[in-house]
Amino acid sequence: MDYQGIIEDIIKEIQPFTSHGKVADYIPEMAKVDPSKFGITIDVIDEGIYSAGDAREKFSIQSVSKVFSLTIAHSLVGESIWERVKVEPSGSPFNSLVQLEYENGIPRNPFINAGAIVIADIMLSNLPDSKASFIEFVEQISGISGLAYNENVAKSEMDSGFRNIALAYFLKSYGNLDNDVMEVLDLYFHMCALEMTCEELAKAFLFYAKHGSSIKFDTIKVTPSQVKRTNALMQTCGFYDESGEFTFTVGLPGKSGVGGGVAAIYPQRYSVAVWGPKLNKKGNSVLGMKALELLTSKSEMSIF
Ligand code: GLN
């Protein structure tokens, strides 16, 4: 398969869509991101890595981090995790408050904000230094070093993330947060503010594509079965109320973030990471979704 040729064609074919969408300006620091960026990397198992565009530029991974935090929390507390967060698609915006009230403070899944805030709480209760362990985990699975949080983005969210603050207090009122609300949010906002390139993100997601591999360091021991469950959740819940659309048009398990990043996997074959900062109304990258639709169409490979 000529992956390099495919991704270069994709860059040409997404041009008509570059004017669509807008950057996530509800986070003031994110409003500064250059909207014209676009990068893509495919990491093919036992073959190699193919990149095009701005694939070596760092961006804020935002909710793509929810895949990593879920993996860590699942490894720490095992199946009891599902008592505090469910595994159903939400069909609602990623920051919905109303759904949390209807469902008595148990978030629909770990990939909406409320679910990821509960996951951050589990990490804080079980790790001596959650922020350091999170970075160490991502470095271990990707084989890269020197990852860092963008402190300005984390602070910008802490200063303006009123909806997330409301969600966290709401969870606390239902008894679904054990730690101090602001400490939980500090961890949650930092994980969202991790900066990675498309190449780094693709390397990290190769771990999910190869879901047979195990990892073990300190108290974090991930089993293939846990990775399989994370992949299933990416398929059903990775794009909020656009998860059906992503499955329909792209057909891969994946996860998006409001930084414009999208990471996806073809199990046992490849991982792919795309970055285009302009988002559609559901908070997913316009160019990211289009590029991945073109990738699975052009390569004529589908998991379905
Ligand atoms: N940090 C963002 C928020 O909480 C993450 C949302 C996202 O990427 N969908 O609003």
What is the mean pLDDT of each successive set of 10 residues along the chain, which is 304 residues long?
96 95 94 96 96 98 98 96 96 90 95 98 97 96 96 97 96 98 98 98 96 72 92 96 94 97 96 97 95 95 86
CA distance 8 to 39: 11
Largest CA distance in the chain: 54
Closest-CA residue to 103 (of 116, 119, 115, 117): 115
303 assigned to some structural domain: no
Give the pLDDT of residue 212: 61
Report the separation in Å between the CA atom of 121 and the middle of ligand 1, taken as the mean of its atom positions: 17
Closest-CA residue to 283 (of 242, 245, 227, 233): 242
Cα distances (angstroms) measured from residue 174 to each of 96, 101, 168: 16, 9, 10
Report the separation in Å between the CA atom of 67 and the middle of ligand 1, taken as the mean of its atom positions: 13
Helix (H) or strand (E) holding 109: none
Amino acid at the residue 204: A
Mutate to test the pocket of ligand 1, among 158, 195, 258, 275 (most ligand atoms within 8 A of CB): 258
Mutate to test the pocket of ligand 1, among 94, 96, 162, 196 (most ligand atoms within 8 A of CB): 94
141 assigned to some structural domain: yes
What is the CB < 6 Å shell around ligand 1?
62-63, 94-95, 113, 157, 164, 192, 257-258, 283
Report the separation in Å between the CA atom of 256 and the middle of ligand 1, taken as the mean of its atom positions: 10
304 assigned to some structural domain: no
102 assigned to some structural domain: yes
Give the pLDDT of residue 91: 86
CATH code at 103? 3.40.710.10
CA distance 36 to 11: 12
Report the separation in Å between the CA atom of 195 and the middle of ligand 1, taken as the mean of its atom positions: 14
Give the pLDDT of residue 221: 87
**Could you list the active site residues?**
63, 66, 188, 240, 258
Task: Reduce the DSSP state of residue 87 to 3 states and report it.
Answer: coil
CA distance 174 to 172: 5
* Structure-token match 């890269």, residue found: 144
153 assigned to some structural domain: yes
Q: How many domains does the chain have?
A: 1
Q: Which residues, in sequence order, are CB contacts of 118 under 8 Å at separation 6+?
A: 84, 85, 107, 110, 171, 176, 177
224 assigned to some structural domain: yes
CA distance 289 to 284: 7
- State which residues form the domain around 116: 3-298
120 assigned to some structural domain: yes
Give the pLDDT of residue 88: 94
Give the pLDDT of residue 231: 97
